[in-house]
């Protein structure tokens, strides 16, 4: 599949599955922007950018927390500016947070953090990108088998992933 000339955004793209998605989209010819949250991911983000640029790929990293209501639009604007374009072809909502604790140990803080990263960020990142997505564009939301399973230590995590699937 050729994605030559397509513009993509991957949330949570500095490490793990997200970095793999960034590499795959880039390899297929897409210009890829990805975000990461914490300064502890700076080195991983820089390394990924360097790796892909050495392979003559167009890639940019953006430090931004997608749970902050103002950041989805900032990520989009940074992407548009970096690639000198007015549209986004692909959005991959990959940023996610896991938690493996029994329901009895879930606090309001844990619940809020999981729902903010795994649900709120997907909804508002998608909402922000819609005006910039042309016919034929793609929005991909990553979930988990936990959305459909009954795992005793993943009640809130499973609920957040089920919300993404819904």
Structure tokens at 9: 């955004």
d(CA 130, CA 66): 16
Q: pLDDT band for position 150 (50/70/90)? A: confident
CA atoms within 13 A on the CB side of 73: 3
Any idea which residue has 């991983």 for tokens? Answer: 44
Residue 151 has pLDDT above 90, yes or no: no
Any idea which residue has 């390394």 for tokens? Answer: 47
Query: Which of 26, 144, 146, 155 is an active site residue?
Result: 144
Residue 111 annotated as catalytic: no
Residue 47 annotated as catalytic: no
What does DSSP say about strands 59-63 and 7-10: parallel, antiparallel, or unpaired?
Answer: unpaired
pLDDT mean over 8-33: 98
Question: The whole model's pTM is what?
Answer: 0.95
Residues with Cβ within 8 Å of residue 4, at least 6 apart in sequence? 28, 29, 30
Residue 117 has pLDDT above 80, yes or no: yes
Query: Which of 26, 143, 146, 155 is an active site residue?
Result: 143
Residues with Cβ within 8 Å of residue 97, at least 6 apart in sequence? 113, 114, 117, 118
Query: Which of 31, 41, 146, 161 is an active site residue?
Result: 161
Paired with 59 in beta bridges are 32
- Compare 2 and 50 and report the one with higher pLDDT: 50
Percent of the chain with pLDDT over 70: 100
Residue 14 has pLDDT above 80, yes or no: yes
> How high is the pLDDT of residue 1?
72
How far the first Cα of the chain sits from its last, in Å, is 28
pLDDT mean over 15-44: 96
Q: What value does the mean pLDDT of the chain take?
A: 95
> How high is the pLDDT of residue 115?
97
- Per-domain residue ranges of the chain: 7-165
Q: What CATH number was assigned to the domain covering residues 7-165?
A: 3.40.50.720
Q: Specify whether the CB–CB gap between 95 and 117 falls below 8 A.
A: yes
pLDDT mean over 20-41: 96
Q: What are phi and psi of 42, to 5 degrees?
A: -55, -50
Residue 151 annotated as catalytic: no
Residue 144 annotated as catalytic: yes
């Amino acid at each position: 599949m050729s994605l030559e000339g397509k513009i993509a955004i991957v949330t949570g793209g500095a490490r793990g599955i997200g970095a793999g998605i960034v590499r795959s989209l880039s390899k297929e010819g897409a210009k890829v922007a990805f975000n990461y949250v914490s300064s502890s991911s700076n080195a991983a983000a820089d390394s990924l950018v360097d790796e892909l640029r050495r392979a003559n790929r167009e890639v940019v990293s953006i430090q931004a927390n997608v749970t902050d209501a103002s950041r989805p639009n900032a990520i989009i604007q940074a992407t548009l500016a970096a690639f000198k374009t007015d549209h986004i072809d692909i959005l991959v909502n990959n940023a996610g947070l896991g938690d493996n604790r029994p329901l009895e140990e879930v606090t309001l803080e844990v619940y809020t953090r999981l729902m903010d990263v795994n649900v709120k960020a997907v909804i508002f990142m998608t909402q922000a990108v819609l005006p910039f997505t042309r016919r034929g564009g793609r929005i991909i939301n990553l979930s988990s088998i936990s959305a459909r399973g009954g795992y005793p230590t993943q009640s809130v995590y499973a609920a957040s992933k089920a919300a993404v699937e819904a």
